[in-house]
Structure 1
Amino acid sequence: MAERIFKYVVLGGGIAGGYAAREFAKQGVKPGELAIISNEAVAPYERPTLSKGYLLPDSPPRLPGFHVCVGSGGERLLPEWYVEKGIELILKTEIVKADLTSKTLTSAAGETFKYQILIIATGSNVIKLSDFGAQGADSKNILYLRDIVDADLLVETIKQKKNGKVVIVGGGYIGLELSAAINLNNLDVTMVYPEPWCMPRLFTAGIAAFYEGYYANKGIKIIKGTVAVAFTADSNGEVKDVKLKDGRTLEADIVVVGVGGRPLTALFKGQVEEEKGGIKTDAFFQTSVSGVYAVGDVATFPMKIYDELRRVEHVDHARKSAEHAVKAIFASELGETIDAYDYLPYFYSRSFNLSWQFYGDNVGDTVLFGDNNPASDKPKFGSYWIKDGKVVGVFLEGGTAEENKAIANVARIQPSVESSDALAKAGLSFACKI
């Protein structure tokens, strides 16, 4: 097959790939210089939609409605946009070999792509139950959610199993958002996770108690402190039971697994420096190999605000890191410099009528404030994290746009606080007055 040559290649057609493409266009990339290579069949889209609105029973969003960059209030980049900008969007193409020395990528079909500058935006793949050796994990209707193909299969299976029983394996982001969406489809939902409370990487026990109570009030059953170890199937090969480590057995017409992901870095093993599970970069996302950048989930980068290397799996960082890398590339070509990436960690989620945001670092002592009664009509509560006498992180459920800006500001400037008691008494007003 003929070799294809580009000045710039972005490997990965997820959110980071889409936002990189937009920034390349802003920077004046010339027609024919840039290729986006993706193993998906569609142009880059806002992936968070899949675990939120996509599964709702009434008026769910569908493509082309949520192509990037609508998730940040920007222009929607339809497939024709790439054509208009002279950007080669190469879909349904799996890269199986990357040689950073010869600057060559090779596809499963044997195509080769040469580049001068490479941005690795490969993201993560889901961890599967088969990775743990779970018996029966290959049964039909044991589903995962990573891309739109997975989402379409889940939607179709929900339709087929009306009023059925669904077991959600995992109590993190995906588990909580999918439990809510599937519950709204009038299916019987049970969540199972090994931790003492949901979303333990971020939530405190006090925060988690609200969501667990709220979900229970919606009819979602929660089983904590155990894991799914085996699955049995019926004569059609479809899952019918989930066996738990504590000895219980749950009926299931559908099992949806959300137990995390792993960054897709295997193509580059031994060719770039790695750290903390990702590809090590500088503050402009350049790796240890000149002309090779890594962004989004796969990048372990210097987090300026905390003066340490971190890897962040979140859509907000995927967008911003991709844009920053492209700006850095063009600045370098012009012999100019840009500011180092200065990222404030930000996470958010929406489910049912709930919406929370978190900014900063969840380390140190915590102070819970506000109305966290799961039965409240309009719950509004939050938590501060205090380290060395300073507020370093803030969580808020039910905040307005202005209040969410206020908590972001607090996490950024890290104000001193007199005492936990004073902070608890002040509650949200503390953030709003900073």
Structure 2
Amino acid sequence: MAEKHFKYVIVGGGVSAGYAAREFAKQGVKSGELAIISKEAVAPYERPALSKAYLFPEGAARLPGFHVCVGSGGERLLPEWYTGKGIELILSTEIVKADLASKTLTSAAGATFKYDILIIATGSAVIRLTDFGVQGADAKNIFYLREIDDADKLIEAIKAKKNGKAVIVGGGYIGLELGAVMKINNFDVSMVYPEPWCMPRLFSSEIAAFYEGYYKKKGIEIIKGTVAVGFDSKANGEVKTVKLKDGRVLDADIVVVGVGGRPLTTLFKGQVEEEKGGIKTDGFFKTSIPTVYAVGDVATFPLKMYNELRRVEHVDHSRKSAEQAVKAIMATGGKSIEEYDYLPFFYSRSFDLSWQFYGDNVGETVLFGNNDPASPKPKFGSYWIKDGKVIGAFLEGGSGDENKAIAKVAKVQPPVDNVDLVKEGLTFACKI
């Protein structure tokens, strides 16, 4: 196979790759200089759609509808956009070896790619129950959701098991979003997770209580404080039951597992500096090798606001870190760019609900607003207070302007001495 050489190569074809490509085009990359190598068969798309509108029974999202960069209100980059810009999309190609010293990537098929500058945008891989040797976890109809192929397989099962029973393993983003979408598909849904409440990495117990109450009201059974320890299957290999550690056994036609992800850094082990589970970078996403950058889920970067190194797994950071790295790569002639100054941002949508969170969730919490799960229009929020300042803010059911207001609060970190935050609630944020 002929060896190919590019000035710039992005390895990974997810959200980061698409946003990086758009930034390269803005910065005037020349035709033939840039290649994106992806093991997926399609051009970069907005991954969050997979756990939401892609699985809807009616009016479902489909490609080309959610190619990047529509998730942030930008133009859709269809495959022909890349062709028009002279960017080579090398799809269905898995890189199995990376030699950073010789600037060479090798694919599973034995093709080699040389680069001058590399952007690592490999993202995360889902954690599978088979990784822990869970008995029966290789049964059919046990699904994970990471790529469009996974979602397509799940859709087939939803059609085949109409009005059946679904068990969701995990109480984080994927668990909550998939629990909602399976219910919308008219499945009998149970959710199982070991923690004392859902979304424990972000939610306080009071916030979680609202969502758990809302889901119960929708008819979803929530089983907390236990884990799936085994699966039984039918003669045809399809999952039949889920065995829990507390002795309970749940019937299941479909199981969806969302227990987290691991950054895909294996190809680069021992070649670049790592920290906190990711590839260590500076505020421009440059790694310990000057010609190699890492963005999105795989990067551990200096979070300026909190003066510490962090790894952030979220689509917003995937987009922004990719743009930052490309600006840094393309900055020439003494043009200086600012270090990455990121305000952590997380959001989710399920049923008629929609929340946003900005900042850091450490310190004391103050809950405000109407968080009654039975309310026809619940709207509530929370502030996180540390050292007498607001450092984090959460809002369910906010308008665009109200969400901007809580973002500003988390960025500005106003003092709250002698402020009755429960009483002031959202008004406090809107005054900043």
Interval of TM-score (by shorter of Structure 1 and Structure 2): over 0.9
When the two structures are superposed, what TM-score results if normalisation uses the length of structure 2? 0.99
Give the structure 1 partner of residue 17 of structure 2. Answer: 17
1:423 positional shift: 1.1
Runs of 5+ consecutive residues of structure 1 not aligned to the other structure: none
Q: Deviations over 1:113-167 (max 9, x none)?
A: 0000000000000000011110000000000000000000111100100111000
Aligned to 2:410: 411
Which residue pairs with 2:5 in the alignment? 5
1:336 CA displacement: 2.2
Equivalent position of 1:425 in the other structure: 423
Partner in structure 2 of residue 314 of structure 1? 314
Confirm whether residue 134 of structure 1 aligns to residue 131 of structure 2.
Answer: no
2:390 counterpart of 1:391: yes
Deviation by residue 1:213-237 (Cα, 9 ceiling, x = unmatched): 0000000000000000000000000
Q: Which residue of 2 aligns with 1:82?
A: 82
2:275 is matched with which residue? 275
Deviation for aligned residue 1:71:
0.3
1:293-308 → structure 2 map (5 Å cutoff): 293-308=293-308
SS in 2 for 1:222: strand
1:334 corresponds to: 333
Name the residue aligned to 1:242: 242
Deviations 1:183-212 (A, max 9, x none): 001000000000000000000000000000
Counterparts of 2:406 and 2:77, CA distance in 1: 31
- AA in 2 matched with 1:417: V
Q: Deviations over 1:344-371 (max 9, x none)?
A: 0000000000000000000000000000
Large movers: runs of 4+ above 3 Å: none
Alignment correspondent of 1:357: 356
Residue 344 of structure 1 corresponds to which residue in structure 2? 343
Q: How many residues align?
A: 432
Aligned AA for 2:389? K
Per the alignment, residue 177 of structure 2 pairs with 177
Kindly provide the amino acid, as one letter, of the partner of residue 279 in structure 1: I
Q: Tell me how far apart the structure 2 counterparts of residues 155 and 431 of structure 1 sit (CA, whole Å).
A: 41
Q: How does 1:22-41 map to 2 (within 5 A)?
A: 22-41=22-41
| Equivalent position of 2:101 in the other structure | 101
Give CA deviations for 1:231-282 in whole Å, capped at 9, x if unaligned. 0000000000000000000000010000000000000000000000000000
Amino acid at match of 2:335: E
Which whole-Å CA distance do the structure 1 matches of 2:402 and 2:284 have between them?
A: 31
Give how far 1:425 is off.
Answer: 1.4
Amino acid paired to 2:357: F
| Aligned mates of 1:367, 1:377 — CA distance in 2 | 23
Give matches, 1:246-257, under 5 Å. 246-257=246-257
Q: Deviations over 1:20-72 (max 9, x none)?
A: 00000000000000000000000000000000101111110100000000000
Unaligned runs of 5+ in 2: none
RMSD: 0.6
**Cα offset, 1:337, TM superposition:** 1.4
Letter in 2 for 1:184: I
CA deviation after TM superposition for structure 1 residue 335, in Å: 3.2
Q: What is the TM-score normalised by the length of structure 1?
A: 0.99
